[in-house]
Structure 1
Amino acid sequence: MTKRLFVLFGLMICAGAVAAEPLVDGDVEAGKTRSAQCAACHGPQGNMESAQFPKLAGQGAPYIYEQLKLFKSGERQNAIMAGQAAGLSDEDMKNLAVYYAAQQTRPGAADVSTAPAGAILYHAGDAENGVPACSGCHGPSGLGNEAAKFPRLSGQSPQYIATQLKAYRSGDRSGYRNATIMNGVAENLSDDDIQALASYVAGLGPATGDKKGGGHGALMQHAGGPAGAAAGQAMTGGDAESEASPEDVEASEQQSQDADAAAKQEAGAAAGDEAASTDDGADDKEADAGEDDGAASEANDNAQ
């Protein structure tokens, strides 16, 4: 299979993998009570900042429910989670899933030195190296696809994302359907690619206080390391109850559109830059020729 066909195949899988089964039916309040044992690793309301443990706040309920079942069955290997999931009933897992899905994700922060390269990979992929665009499965704003059990990446810890991409690449994380998709995607990612992607998705954030973003995803809304994260948190009020003002929504929506356009332009720049470079070279030559003709004419006039 050629690299181009691999990219198209990967996108077809993502587009057609939406499950027909209903979303998770659980009890948020019961999940809140059960989550007390999860807080040590995942933080209050699922907003732990850790390279080892993921944020769960705002994550799709079907994804959380599926991963808990995989931990319990042993299909996904993790010593800590195997022990935690062993005592959970199916109802417990559903309740936890809907509880964390109902929480507000606190924004992360992108590193502006690496995130632009991640933006290109995320939105356009790398056809030459057989890497499909991440946005095909995880959405342009990284909010995931709940029905297909594709996770939300927006605002996730960049260290955790990088660790998981490397685990997919090495095959340490494998053995179930969506992991198989990711094994194929990650096998062609370099360490630099992984760091760039991890940084970029950390800075993705919904444009409103609504965790679903109201359909308005702000791309690289939060940048510049911890200070950027603090600023982003301040913008959303830093808690699960806050909502952005209409002015913030409009500004973030515009930022989203601008960033989307920039990513698409930069992603297609390879051929365009080459053509532009050729045209610029021709223009420069014409300009130089014009200057030479002008100089020659002036010298001739002076001689006369």
Structure 2
Amino acid sequence: MDNPLPANFVPSAEIGLELARTTCGTCHGLQGDGIIRDKEGNPRLNKAGEPMSMGPTFPRLAGQHPEYILQQLRSLQISHMDPERAKKEGIYRVEVQMMPYVSMPMMGGKMLDSEMAAHIAAWFSSQKPVLADAAKTPSNEFETRIDYLYRGGDVNRNIPACSSCHSPSGMGNGPAKYPMIAGQYAQYTEKQLFAFKNSRAEKAVRSNDPERMMRDIAERLTDEEIKGLAKYIETLQIKRPTIRQANN
């Protein structure tokens, strides 16, 4: 993905959809919502009549900022193909399940390149985010502390508010490449926060945050706070127009 995008390049959600059908959609769900669907795009139901989910191993991508998706795909590709370069450039991130998709010819015999990635990002970013039915109100002292930690941080421990980058609603900031986190699986968010916290370990898997921003914050959080924030983030709600209907 070192190849620059051509001048006046316009990513296509339609092309991204076709690429997602045979690659990304297998794990993230064709619409990036983690839901298993049939060829017509209808959710497959379990015995209880509920949509079948891929589970929290794979993050929800629906509505995610295209800038962030592109950044992470490049980071993953270089990290799996040339880890020393990735570490030197400060973009190291390893996800074993992503290795075949970013480092081997998969898409029509071609390696993932910048144009393919841009089309894929256009598709998933146009989908409707998966959000909680209702915002969760803190019900005890710990949840109240987590709510304040997200919105106000902790000055005494030099922990900035999560909302300062990811916004109060969890919408994030696309141009700054701060991801949308609202509605993300709690288990996935927890895993990523612990990956940042343990970045100094011998077998660290993630250090692709500029200026150690997330690593420094995660190291100052307790394990309980990380778990609490992950659950809190999953309940955040945002309102954002859908660019393209997800079931096409």
* TM-score using structure 2 length: 0.70
Specify the alignment match of 2:95 in structure 1.
Answer: 78
Determine if contact 2:207/2:215 at 8 Å carries over to the other structure: no
Q: Take 1:137 and 1:184, find their aligned partners in 2: how far apart are those partners?
A: 15
Q: Which runs of 5+ in 2 are unaligned?
A: 1-8, 35-52, 80-91, 104-110
Range that drifts further, 113-122 or 95-104: 113-122
Specify the alignment match of 1:62 in structure 2.
Answer: 67
Specify the alignment match of 1:38 in structure 2.
Answer: 24
Q: Summarize deviations over 1:237-291 as a string: whole Å, max 9, x none.
A: xx848xxxxxxxxxxxxxxxxxxxxxxxxxxxxxxxxxxxxxxxxxxxxxxxxxx
Residues 154, 140 of structure 1: alpha-carbon distance in 2 compared, 3 angstrom cutoff: same
Q: Take 1:79 and 1:156, find their aligned partners in 2: how far apart are those partners?
A: 20
Q: 1:154 aligns with which of 161, 182, 194?
A: 182
Range that drifts further, 95-104 or 189-198: 189-198
**CA shift for structure 1 position 148:** 0.8
Determine if contact 1:141/1:154 at 8 Å carries over to the other structure: yes
Q: Take 2:15 and 2:70, find their aligned partners in 1: how far apart are those partners?
A: 15
Residues 211, 135 of structure 1: alpha-carbon distance in 2 compared, 3 angstrom cutoff: farther
Q: Percent identity at matched positions?
A: 32
Q: Take 1:211 and 1:204, find their aligned partners in 2: how far apart are those partners?
A: 18
Q: 1:95 aligns with which of 105, 112, 119?
A: 119
Determine if contact 1:168/1:179 at 8 Å carries over to the other structure: no
- Whichever residue aligns with residue 18 of structure 2, its letter is T
Q: Take 1:43 and 1:88, find their aligned partners in 2: how far apart are those partners?
A: 19
Q: 1:175 aligns with which of 192, 203, 207?
A: 207
Q: 1:190 aligns with which of 222, 226, 230?
A: 222
Determine if contact 1:168/1:183 at 8 Å carries over to the other structure: yes
Q: Take 2:214 and 2:132, find their aligned partners in 1: how far apart are those partners?
A: 23
Determine if contact 1:31/1:98 at 8 Å carries over to the other structure: yes
Residues 33, 199 of structure 1: alpha-carbon distance in 2 compared, 3 angstrom cutoff: same
| Corresponding residue SS for 2:61 | coil
- Whichever residue aligns with residue 142 of structure 1, its letter is G
- Whichever residue aligns with residue 145 of structure 1, its letter is N
Q: Take 2:246 and 2:143, find their aligned partners in 1: how far apart are those partners?
A: 27
- Whichever residue aligns with residue 175 of structure 1, its letter is S
**CA shift for structure 1 position 121:** 0.7
**CA shift for structure 1 position 176:** 2.7
Residues 123, 25 of structure 1: alpha-carbon distance in 2 compared, 3 angstrom cutoff: farther
Larger gyration radius, structure 1 or structure 2:
1
Q: Summarize deviations over 1:91-144 as a string: whole Å, max 9, x none.
A: 110101111100001214776556433211111001122211011111111101
Determine if contact 1:161/1:198 at 8 Å carries over to the other structure: yes
Q: Take 1:66 and 1:90, find their aligned partners in 2: how far apart are those partners?
A: 10
**CA shift for structure 1 position 25:** 4.2
Residues 178, 108 of structure 1: alpha-carbon distance in 2 compared, 3 angstrom cutoff: farther
Determine if contact 2:209/2:215 at 8 Å carries over to the other structure: no
Residues 108, 158 of structure 1: alpha-carbon distance in 2 compared, 3 angstrom cutoff: farther
**CA shift for structure 1 position 178:** 3.4
Determine if contact 2:32/2:61 at 8 Å carries over to the other structure: yes
Residues 25, 122 of structure 1: alpha-carbon distance in 2 compared, 3 angstrom cutoff: farther
Aligned length: 192
Structure 1 runs of 4+ with >4 Å offset: 109-115
Matches within 5 A, 1:17-28: 25-28=10-13
